[in-house]
Structure 1
Amino acid sequence: MAKEKGRKLIAQNKKARHDYHVLDTYECGLVLTGTEVKSLRQGRASLVDGFVQIDGNEAWLHNVHVPEYSQGTWTNHSARRKRKLLLHRAEIDKLESKSQETGHTIVPLSLYFKDGRAKVEIALARGKKEYDKRQTLREKQDRREAERVISAVRRRQRA
């Protein structure tokens, strides 16, 4: 059996980019059980309510929903258990000191397989205020509208 190469996306947390200013990102491994890996290979997971907490010099991923494996038996995992993240000591120390600043948190951005291994991309983030969210949305709509106008002009020039 050939080992799979590249990056296969399982789940993304689009809400995190809307609710937070992403300051720094890290790629880290996950400690998983067999049924969790099989469930992830089916492409089933949700990062929406997920967050990272550091206790006892270890990073833990909380509230990430990995549904039970359908063919699993009594060995099946619980869907929202906390999962250990694999990071270097220096990265954990840096994240811990930064996350204790007011308004900073650590959130998961995406969950994927990279060369057959489950990885999660986490971000050190600062919460956005309501007006920041509106401003971001407005900029996105303006950019989309400008692209529409440009493509319409190009279509008219071709005709």
Structure 2
Amino acid sequence: MHVEKLAAKIKLLILDVDGVLTDGGLYYDHQGNVTKRFNVQDGLGIKFAQQAGLQLAVITGLNHGAVENRIKELGITEYYPGQRKKLPFYEKLIQEKGLKPEEVAYIGDDWIDVPVMLKVGLPMAVCNAQPEVIGISKWVSKKPGGHGAVREAIAFLLDCQGLLENIWLEWAE
């Protein structure tokens, strides 16, 4: 089946954080505190998804205050931090939402994402993901993680669902 037809069925997009919503870098200040870098284009893409009715969730292997703050700021309520084994949270999430695997997309970048990616209807990867992750993906971004890849993925999904143009028009007013 063509990737566009798979994308047209998606009701839930699950995001990884490090290497997808961020560039994967760890930035240390002079006191040894770690911070993370997020892209505002990704944030606006998330707002587009929410406006279009595309559900969002975040399952991440790490638990970091900056990530939690950004997720809250973006209004994503399905947030599962500190989950090195993501598959149980994916299974719980789709059961609670009454979704089928073919109605779910997941965008990842590393081996920790593979178990969920093998279960969803549309596995997606950022272009700088590990080769094995790209190899199992049905869609790969042109932009790297943390540099607008999530916005690109959301635009692709909304376009395949016939929703993107209306979102653009609403934001252009």
TM-score, normalising length from structure 1?
Answer: 0.30
- The structure that is strand-richer by fraction is 1
- The structure that is helix-richer by fraction is 2
TM-score, normalising length from structure 2?
Answer: 0.28
